[in-house]
Amino acid sequence: MPVLGKALHTPFAFGFTGVDLFFVLSGFLLTLPFALAARSGSGHPLLGRYFKRRLLRVLPAYYAQLAIILLAGAWFVTWKPLGVATLLAHFTMFFNAGPDPVRPMVGVWWTLPVEMSFYLLLPLIAVFMRPGRWLYFLVISILMSLAYRYWAVVHFSTDSNLIRLAASHLPGSLPEFLLGSSAAILVQYCRLKSIKPPSALILDLMFVVSTAGVFLWLWGIVLPHGSQFWWGHWSMLVEPVVLGLVLSVMVISLYWGSRIGNLLCANRPVYFLGLISYSLYLWHFVVLQQLDQHLGEGFKQLAGMPKFLLSTVLVIVVSTLSYYLFERPFFKLRSNDKAVDKGVVAKYEA
């Protein structure tokens, strides 16, 4: 059991990297239609539908969770009385932007304005996806990210939490989105030019090497400097570039059909977790915190495996309820766009 516990603990200890993967995946998946339009010379995707689907994907579950925490604030230990400005920041997701960041009631909410910022920027970024423009735009954006992260370290030099909040906002995290976008541009270019993907062996090698690269970076660089990381260690400044590049290789290998990647990711449990992933992300921190607070010493003293299983089951149950109650009902509002989207894709493929 101790060996199994350590084996389970290692990937979950690196769970924060899921945010980096999510940013890269967002850049990749959302850029695919824009890259296809830019490279094929066709009109860009309909922006009204694009923004409608993005808002319906993010806002309902977030506002439902915010309402539950505010209404049950006496029970939720994450809740504290909010001033007007702080409450407005939560309603608008304006947490960690600007010179005076607002700390969100739920720690993981800091990623939401980062994601929403990219949604707003992507249609503007699309003008750089034509040949001869993208590489210059990518390099300038990476340099801007490095400078911004350094500014956050200097400006919030007395509080590492504020450094983390500020540095993680755009443009601090922009390289991860843009490297994901670069992967989308690459696969669409190969598709339009009828360039075949690499062999199955190369794709498996790409997946294995990129996965190993993530763990080597975390284990060999980030963990040894954990106490210094958010105080301005060089690895914090370049992490979006390093992880963005490595994770983009992983995403490409999965998109083109890595056998090892499909074995690990293309199965029913992973599909289901992917289905509820947004609610899972929103609720896991809150559920774990409530377990620790309300079950008392009995929960804290549980052995590693029972504690892990109980926590995992409850997080999945709550996340599943959130998905079916607050996410899925809004899929009907998005489903009307599917026929239009298929027609646009068919036009591009013709």
Radius of gyration of the chain (CA): 21
**Which pair of tokens denotes residue 90?**
């939560």
Integer angstrom CA distances of residue 32 from 168, 171, 187? 24, 21, 8
Asked which of 3-12, 16-25, 229-238, 331-340 is least confident by mean pLDDT, the reply is: 3-12
Q: What is the pLDDT of residues 91-115, one digit of tens each?
A: 988 875 555 667 888 888 989 989 9
**Which pair of tokens denotes residue 160?**
């590492």
Q: How far apart are the first and last CA of the chain?
A: 56
Q: What pLDDT, on the 0 to 100 scale, is given for residue 41?
A: 75
Mean pLDDT of 183-199: 95
Is the CA virtual torsion 78, 84, 88, 91 positive or negative?
positive
Task: Using alpha carbons only, give the angle 36, 17, 250 rounded to the nearest 5 degrees.
Answer: 40
C-alpha 60: how far from its chain's center? 18
- Residue 68 pLDDT > 90, yes or no? yes
Mean pLDDT of 185-211: 96
Mean pLDDT of 261-278: 93
- Phi, psi (5° rounding) for residue 97? -100, 150
Is the CA virtual torsion 127, 131, 132, 138 positive or negative?
positive
- Residue 66 pLDDT > 90, yes or no? yes
Asked which of 29-38, 96-105, 306-315 is least confident by mean pLDDT, the reply is: 96-105
Q: What pLDDT, on the 0 to 100 scale, is given for residue 279?
A: 96
Question: CB–CB of 314/287 below 8 Å?
Answer: yes
Q: What is the pLDDT of residues 204-220, one digit of tens each?
A: 999 999 999 999 998 89
- Residue 322 pLDDT > 70, yes or no? yes
Q: What pLDDT, on the 0 to 100 scale, is given for residue 340?
A: 43
Residue with tokens 């409450």, as numbered in its chain = 87
Mean pLDDT of the chain: 85
DSSP label at residue 218: I
